Amino acid sequence: MAELKVNENKSMNRGKKSLQWLWSEYSVVIAFVIIFIVAALMNDRFLYIQNQMNILMQVSTIGIIALGMTVVMLSGGIDLSVGSVLAMVGVFSVLALNASGSIFIGILTALAVGAITGVLNGLLVAKGKIASFIATLGMMAGARSIALFYADGGSVSGEVDGLTAIANTELFGIVDLPIIIFLLLTVVVYLLMQKTRFGRYVYALGSNEKAALLSAIRVDRIKIGVYTLCSLLVGVAAIIETSRLNSISSSSSGNLYELDAIAAVIIGGTRMTGGKGRVIGTFFGVLLLGVLNNMMNLMNISPHLQGLVKGLIIIVAVFFQKRD
């Protein structure tokens, strides 16, 4: 009898550990499925294919930024400048577009300005030994100021036909191009983090920077690399944002995008301290926020309360991370 009891206890413990592992690894997926089902039950319009495409379209810009934020946070850092950088990149890309008359030049400018900004962030953190919070906070203020200066505090509109085609082209008559770009970039960043040496080094850096140094990992290069990648993806997001309305606002574009990106990354299971997390988690975190926003809109809940919901979700996500 005693032996039978011991075996039963062992089985119960194994089952408990399995459930804990399942929740630890796939909590964001489980939460997404639950919220999706609740949203579908609360409003029959939620499941319309057009509504689903709208959700994906609305989260595509933030989703692309969140992919870059994931890499930064996995390294143990944070980038608060992404929203302001998006506005600055958008202003410069539209000005270059209007001056050259070439969409290609505009896109190239956006990617170049984004990458250069990321390199500066990386140098401040890696070589300047400034905490990422402070360095990117300074960049946030500086980038917004530059955008306001060159746009005279207002908006800059594109004067070249075809710019709006980037964000408003539908593939197969149903899927917008920004959605395809978001999905493709998710796959690319996932492969980068899971299948390359760079990805392994980022995880090592986030887990233990001193150990990474002792392992002959060039920590400074990795730090510069993660911030460059993040801002480069912000450049892609800026192209989509600018194309959607054929203009960019120096004062409001990108406002609080850093909050949305960080929220998606944390909800996706990436730790604030770095070293643990997955790109797929961020992908579902972005979708979860998109479904929540859409559900609140369908229920005619004030948009001013959406920030409160995001804030509460971040707190709950961090709380559960501490219990893991």
The predicted pLDDT at position 26 comes to 73
Q: Are the C-beta atoms of 248 and 92 separated by less than 8 Å?
A: no
Query: Residue type at 58?
Result: Q
Spell out the residues 6+ positions from residue 11 whose beta carbon is closer than 8 angstroms to its own.
Answer: none
pTM: 0.90
Collapsed DSSP state (helix, strand, coil) of residue 273: coil
| CATH topology assigned to domain 49-156+169-323 | ABC transporter involved in vitamin B12 uptake, BtuC (1.10.3470)
Spell out the residues 6+ positions from residue 124 whose beta carbon is closer than 8 angstroms to its own.
Answer: 130, 135, 138, 139
Condensed to tens digits (0 to 9), the pLDDT of residues 224-273 reads: 999 999 999 999 999 999 999 899 999 999 998 999 999 899 989 898 88
First to last CA, the chain: 34
Q: At which residue do the structure tokens 């994906």 appear?
A: 56
The predicted pLDDT at position 17 comes to 59
Phi, psi of 249 (to 5 degrees): -100, 125
Collapsed DSSP state (helix, strand, coil) of residue 146: helix
Closest by CA position to 156, among listed 233, 245, 61, 240: 245
Which residues of the chain, if any, have pLDDT below 70? 1-25, 318, 320-324
CA distance 144 to 147: 5
Closest by CA position to 229, among listed 177, 192, 280, 182: 192
